[in-house]
Amino acid sequence: AYRKGGYHAVRAGDSFAGGRYVAQRKLGWGNFSTVWLAYDTRSHRFVALKIQKSAADFSGAALHEIEVLSAIAEGDPSNSKCIVRLLDHFKHSGPNGQHICLVVEFLGDSLLRLIRHNRYKCIGLNRVREICRSILLGLDYLHREVGIIHSDLKPENVLLVSTIDPAKDPVRSGFTPILERPEGNFTRGIVVSVIEKKLKRRARRAIAKISERRSSLGGVPVQEKSLEGVDLRCKIVDFGNACWFDKQFTTEIQTRQYRAPEVILGFRYSFSVDMWSFACIAFELATGDMLFTPRNGQAFSEDEDHLALMMELLGKIPRKIAIGGSRSKDYFDRHGDLKRIRRLKSLPLHQLLVDKYKFSNSDALEFSEFLCPILDFSPEKRPTAAQCLQHPWLRKKDPKPTEKINELCTGKVQAGLSELRLKVGK
């Protein structure tokens, strides 16, 4: 892929935008791009640099992403809507052609890494709720205020936000920026290295722990920090496939496992496709497993298996929907039954949660009452992100000691709960 039209090969220390950004190390990659941690020598902070493949299609997609992210930033001056912030963009010429580069705020690990790091088990329902709230805030803003469908929502495209002060975060501040300094401007380097020296030992220990954990996970790269007591927040990234709801350019959207039924069946789609993906993510966080993992068999396609899995979990697709899409004939007969997969084993969501994932009966019922309406086969019946944010499940809290201490930060203690203050203070 590192050829004409492809990725731009980057080494740590390479500089971009006339020397303003210096590449540090690779953070991740997608189909279209590689993403690097870079040091912004002007603002003296770390940023993420997304370097697009150079072929015309990819450049078009990057320009589109810049347009979308600019609109998103414009409507959210305080940067509080749980969407990644675009900071800058420019073109970079390399041996493989011209690459469009986006500079965005540097965020934490993706939910995919979080799930892997947690060894594919539930991350705790309070944490699931916190993450769900962030994603829903982001979706509500995107859908209602900007008019954009993300259309590729999945755990990889939701990144955790560190709420730890970077100066106190041994992993981040312990990272020495690689600076190619052509002239003798030493001030910045000295300031940075003083802070680092103080934290160097702690940092080294933390990094050693992380690589230990990494090797125990079989080489999976983990930047994840301990989750104890951290109020989790996250942000939605990757707007390369996003579209304005009234300007859709393609019918093939979303990553397989997170794809809504109306997309498979070839209907026009709307904001509610993101809600479907959101429900799939929530389930995955709560169980560690993907909600749907369709496979093709000898007699049936992956699409048909996917529809069968949906019906086993959620009941039969209403006939009108089953036969009404432009691709319905590929899967359904005129009665609304699948053509090649005849026998379905029904297993409703709450029962799956109890049987396979050992949820308590009440946890399972409450969680499935939250999820099932979002997994409605009729897209227009699905609740909006704003409606989901009102759901009582999101406001529930399992009592946990960490929560009590969090209350200290919210001002509730000052408002008269002095008993709590005494208890925690001792």
Cβ proximity of 249 and 135 under 8 Å: no
> Please, what is the minimum distance in Å from the beta carbon of residue 310 to ligand ADP?
26
Query: What is the DSSP track for 184-212?
Result: ---HHHHHHHHHHHHHHHHHHHHHHHHHH
> Please, what is the minimum distance in Å from the beta carbon of residue 61 to Mg ion?
11
Q: With binding defined as CB under 6 A, does residue 104 bind ligand ADP?
A: yes
**Which position among 15, 126, 156, 336 is part of the footprint of ligand ADP (CB under 6 A)?**
156
Task: Pick between residue 101 and residue 317 the one whose CB is nearest to ligand ADP.
Answer: 101
CB proximity list for 148: less than 8 A, separation 6 or greater: 68, 71, 72, 142, 239, 242, 243, 244, 245
Q: With binding defined as CB under 6 A, does residue 111 bind ligand ADP?
A: no
72, two tokens:
């998103």
**Which position among 39, 106, 332, 377 is part of the footprint of ligand ADP (CB under 6 A)?**
106
235 annotated to a ligand binding site:
no
Task: Pick between residue 61 and residue 311 the one whose CB is nearest to ligand ADP.
Answer: 61
**Choices 129-137, 156-164, 199-207, 243-251 (CB under 6 A): range interacting with ligand ADP:** 156-164
Q: Where do contacts with Mg ion occur on this chain (CB under 5 A)?
A: 30, 157, 238
Residue, CB closest to ligand ADP: 30
Q: What is the Cα–Cα distance from 237 to 413, expressed in whole angstroms?
A: 36
Cβ proximity of 45 and 85 under 8 Å: no
Give Dmax over CA atoms of the chain in angstroms: 77
**Choices 74-82, 154-162, 323-331, 397-405 (CB under 6 A): range interacting with ligand ADP:** 154-162
**Which position among 22, 158, 237, 285 is part of the footprint of ligand ADP (CB under 6 A)?**
237
Number of chain residues interacting with ligand ADP (CB under 6 A) = 22
- Among candidates 13, 68, 412, which has minimal Cα distance to 240? 68
**Which position among 138, 170, 174, 240 is part of the footprint of ligand ADP (CB under 6 A)?**
240
CB proximity list for 350: less than 8 A, separation 6 or greater: 364, 365, 367, 368
Task: Pick between residue 150 and residue 382 the one whose CB is nearest to Mg ion.
Answer: 150
Q: What is the Cα–Cα distance from 4 to 317, expressed in whole angstroms?
A: 46
CB proximity list for 212: less than 8 A, separation 6 or greater: none
> Please, what is the minimum distance in Å from the beta carbon of residue 150 to Mg ion?
11
Cβ proximity of 271 and 143 under 8 Å: yes
**Which position among 24, 96, 110, 287 is part of the footprint of ligand ADP (CB under 6 A)?**
110
Q: What is the Cα–Cα distance from 289 to 2, expressed in whole angstroms?
A: 33
Q: With binding defined as CB under 6 A, does residue 32 bind ligand ADP?
A: yes
Q: What is the Cα–Cα distance from 384 to 390, expressed in whole angstroms?
A: 10
> Please, what is the minimum distance in Å from the beta carbon of residue 329 to Mg ion?
32
Q: H-helix or E-strand containing 243?
A: strand 243-244
**Choices 9-17, 99-107, 129-137, 368-376 (CB under 6 A): range interacting with ligand ADP:** 99-107
Q: With binding defined as CB under 6 A, does residue 254 bind ligand ADP?
A: no
Cβ proximity of 78 and 86 under 8 Å: no
Catalytic residues: 152
> Please, what is the minimum distance in Å from the beta carbon of residue 48 to Mg ion?
12
Task: Pick between residue 47 and residue 385 the one whose CB is nearest to ligand ADP.
Answer: 47
Would strands 15-16 and 21-29 be described as parallel, antiparallel, or unpaired? antiparallel
**Which position among 7, 23, 24, 28 is part of the footprint of ligand ADP (CB under 6 A)?**
28
Which amino acid would we find at residue 385? Answer: A
Q: With binding defined as CB under 6 A, does residue 292 bind ligand ADP?
A: no
Task: Pick between residue 104 and residue 232 the one whose CB is nearest to ligand ADP.
Answer: 104
Task: Pick between residue 236 and residue 311 the one whose CB is nearest to Mg ion.
Answer: 236
Q: What is the Cα–Cα distance from 143 to 256, expressed in whole angstroms?
A: 22
> Please, what is the minimum distance in Å from the beta carbon of residue 157 to Mg ion?
5
Binding site for ligand ADP (CB under 6 A): 27-33, 35, 48, 50, 84, 104-107, 110, 156-157, 159, 237-238, 240
Per the annotation, where are the binding residues? 50
